Amino acid sequence: MNVAIVGATGAVGAEFLSVLIQRRFPVTNLRAFASNRSAGTRIEFAGRPVMVESLAPGCFDGCHLAFFSAGKTISREFAPTAVRAGAIVIDNSSAFRMQPDVPLGVPEINPDAIRGYRGIVAVPNCTAIILCMAVWPLHRAARLQRIVVSTYQAVSGAGARALRELHEQIEAAAAGRALVPKALPYPIVNNLFSHNTSIGPEGSNEEESKVIEETRRILGAPDLAISATCIRVPVPRAHSESINLTFADTLGELKARELLAAAPGVRVVDDREHNRFPMPIDASGGDDVLVGRIRADPSQPPGRGLSLFACGDQLRKGAALNAVQIAELVTNL
């Protein structure tokens, strides 16, 4: 299959390459696209060098599958071109996620919306994917009424430059030098801050709005009440989420643990005796969303409330892995 990656030099782009190889995706020919700044450099795929190209007229001719992760402006401009050239586009940007005719795909949750689809399939926001993976098995069993989620989001979610800044600030902190923010608005080492996207009139930042809207769409629950607070923390990789749930039907803690243990793509890490629960260092680089601290919520009527803590690698299940899983479904691999 002829595969294009748009945004090949970014944080998610690098993950696309490694996930394609890891899952033995049948790539006949790979083309890597990025901004003019990166064009002409080389990346490596399956042991061979690949020249990075600029997007240009005709660049998707002969392409079967195009993964986009270069921001919504690039997706808006070039994804329709790729589709017209005959490619299936799997788009990691927010450009098409809320468009009713574009599936918003999480293969473990809504495979029927994705399977055999032609055109653009959107990959949801990383925080929404991790949240949905953790709550879907429970929602199916007892219908969610409300979610209150607070996040602990990794720096690589803000891109490769922000991740370099985290490492540079760790070096600066070790040497006793001042922490000078450049890619991020504030120092991130020894600190944390509200997600640095703009705040709408109702008080949610863009990340929170995405979590709220996309979660409803992925779960097929348009009336689900969701409160989200998104915070950036000094962790390189893997988002964590503190999740409080209210159910319409009764769901006990033991049944919830059983359902989560049986859910594909979820791994229960919930060892109270040894105080071992989901942590970013354990979720990083892995495929599963880790779920733990599963407990009845004493602040709600018995059987109606649960709390969880989840961690997932937002570059993998939150982006590249989810995208390649979608590719497997649309191409019926």
Using CB under 8 A as the binding rule, whether residue 199 contacts its own copies is answered as yes
Using CB under 8 A as the binding rule, whether residue 131 contacts its own copies is answered as no
Per DSSP, the residues of 186-199 read: S--TT--EE--S-B
How many of the chain's residues bind its own copies (CB under 8 A)? Answer: 58
CB of 171 to its own copies, least distance (A): 4
Out of 295, 303, 304, 331, point to the residue binding its own copies (CB under 8 A). Answer: 295
Token code pair at residue 39: 């064009």
Using CB under 8 A as the binding rule, whether residue 294 contacts its own copies is answered as yes
Out of 18, 143, 253, 303, point to the residue binding its own copies (CB under 8 A). Answer: 253
Using CB under 8 A as the binding rule, whether residue 182 contacts its own copies is answered as no
Token code pair at residue 272: 């109270």
Distances (CA, A) of 5 to 32, 85, 92, 118, 320: 5, 15, 11, 18, 11
Per DSSP, the residues of 80-128 read: HHHHHTT-EEEE-SSSSTT-TTS-B--TTT-HHHHTT--SEEEPPPHHH
User: Could you report how far apart the first and last alpha carbons of the chain are, in Å?
Assistant: 11
Report residue 176 CA to chain centroid gap.
34
Using CB under 8 A as the binding rule, whether residue 175 contacts its own copies is answered as yes
| Residues contacting residue 35 through CB under 8 Å, at least 6 positions apart | 54, 70
Using CB under 8 A as the binding rule, whether residue 128 contacts its own copies is answered as no
Triad 240, 243, 247: Cα angle to 5°: 155
Using CB under 8 A as the binding rule, whether residue 281 contacts its own copies is answered as yes
Using CB under 8 A as the binding rule, whether residue 186 contacts its own copies is answered as yes
Strand partners, 147: 226, 245
Per DSSP, the residues of 216-250 read: HHHHT-TT-EEEEE-EE-S-SS-EEEEEEEEESS-
Segment contacting its own copies by CB under 8 A, of 30-38, 115-123, 129-137, 188-196? 188-196
Out of 85, 113, 173, 221, point to the residue binding its own copies (CB under 8 A). Answer: 173
Out of 150, 183, 258, 287, point to the residue binding its own copies (CB under 8 A). Answer: 150
**Of 63, 126, 132, 311, which residue is the catalytic one?**
126
CB of 229 to its own copies, least distance (A): 4
Using CB under 8 A as the binding rule, whether residue 299 contacts its own copies is answered as yes
Using CB under 8 A as the binding rule, whether residue 242 contacts its own copies is answered as yes
Residues in contact with its own copies by CB under 8 A are: 146-148, 150, 152, 170-171, 173-175, 185-187, 189-194, 196, 198-199, 202-205, 212, 225-227, 229, 231, 233-236, 240, 242, 244, 253, 272, 275, 277, 279-281, 292-300, 305, 307, 309
Catalytic residue set: 126, 239
